[in-house]
Amino acid sequence: MNEAITITPAGREDAASISSVLAANRDDLGLFQESSTAVLRALGDFLVARNEAGKIVGCAGVHRDLPELAEVYAVAVTPRCQGQGIGQQLLQACQQRARADGFRHVWLATVKPGYFSRHGFQPICRWKLPAPVLLRKLRQTIQQPVGRWLPALFGRHTFMWKTLGTAPTSDSGTEAKGNSA
Ligand SMILES: CC(C)(COP(=O)(O)OP(=O)(O)OC[C@H]1O[C@@H](n2cnc3c(N)ncnc32)[C@H](O)[C@@H]1OP(=O)(O)O)[C@@H](O)C(=O)NCCC(=O)NCCS
């Protein structure tokens, strides 16, 4: 049986673990890597998933782009814990947080559109995103190791969009226990 997972906003002490979860998935070229320092700078964005022993086994970020638009990013689960619904719970918690913070829409860029379409995200043309949002993403991309530029810059990323309803979405089958987002 899968362990109970608790999802909470990240604290300063979680920055190194978040960076480690991202690093553990470094073979996934679609996932941007962040140092602990970079995570600390954006700490308010991050949610963490903890297992019953209190160990961080997943993370995700929600970044405010515009008053009504936020990016969901850095969605990652420790490799040996994947496939247990933790990614789904993190995505659900991101949407709860975004809704609570007043965002009406969330977007993301991914090389795994199949996964996110299962959770109601729909592909969009990247050029439909507001220019400041695209520019921020471009700046973020060129701060990554060069190997991550190519998929991001030359079309391997699918940009996706979801309009948030006021009520929990249909992918809310697994409640994020203890989520305070
Ligand atoms: C993508 C990721 C966050 C999913 O988290 P997870 O906890 O493993 O996924 P869940 O347990 O919520 O969902 C598993 C389900 O999604 C499906 N799934 C996984 N990857 C998929 C993909 N690329 N396309 C379509 N479905 C996918 C699984 O087959 C499984 O289906 P099932 O429930 O019918 O058996 C995780 O695999 C991960 O961290 N990957 C590496 C980092 C990454 O790629 N992050 C995305 C940013 S680009």
For residue 112, the ligand 1 atom closest to its alpha carbon is: 23
Which sequence spans correspond to the domains of the chain?
6-163
Give residue 155 CA to ligand 1 midpoint distance, Å.
21
d(CA 133, CA 89): 26
Q: b/e map of 120-143 (b: 16 or more CB within 10 Å)?
A: bbeeeeeeebeeebbeebeebbee
- pLDDT tens digits along 103-146: 999 999 999 999 999 999 999 999 999 999 999 999 988 888 88
For residue 88, the ligand 1 atom closest to its alpha carbon is: 12
Q: Is the CB of 59 under 6 A from ligand 1?
A: no
Task: Give CA 88 to chain center in angstroms.
Answer: 11
Q: Is the CB of 161 under 6 A from ligand 1?
A: no
User: What global pTM score does this model have?
Assistant: 0.90
- pLDDT tens digits along 6-50: 999 999 999 999 999 999 999 888 899 999 999 999 999 999 999
Burial of 166: CB neighbours in 10 Å, binned 0-12, 13-18, 19+ = exposed
Q: Which CATH number applies to 6-163: 3.40.50.920, 3.30.70.2340, 3.40.190.10, 3.40.630.30?
A: 3.40.630.30
Q: From residue 93, give the alpha-carbon distance in Å to each of 34, 142, 157.
A: 21, 29, 23
Question: How big is the chain, counted in residues?
Answer: 181
Task: Give CA 20 to chain center in angstroms.
Answer: 15
Q: Residue 156: pLDDT band by 50, 70, 90 thresholds?
A: confident
- pLDDT value, residue 167: 54
Give residue 122 CA to ligand 1 midpoint distance, Å.
16
For residue 110, the ligand 1 atom closest to its alpha carbon is: 48
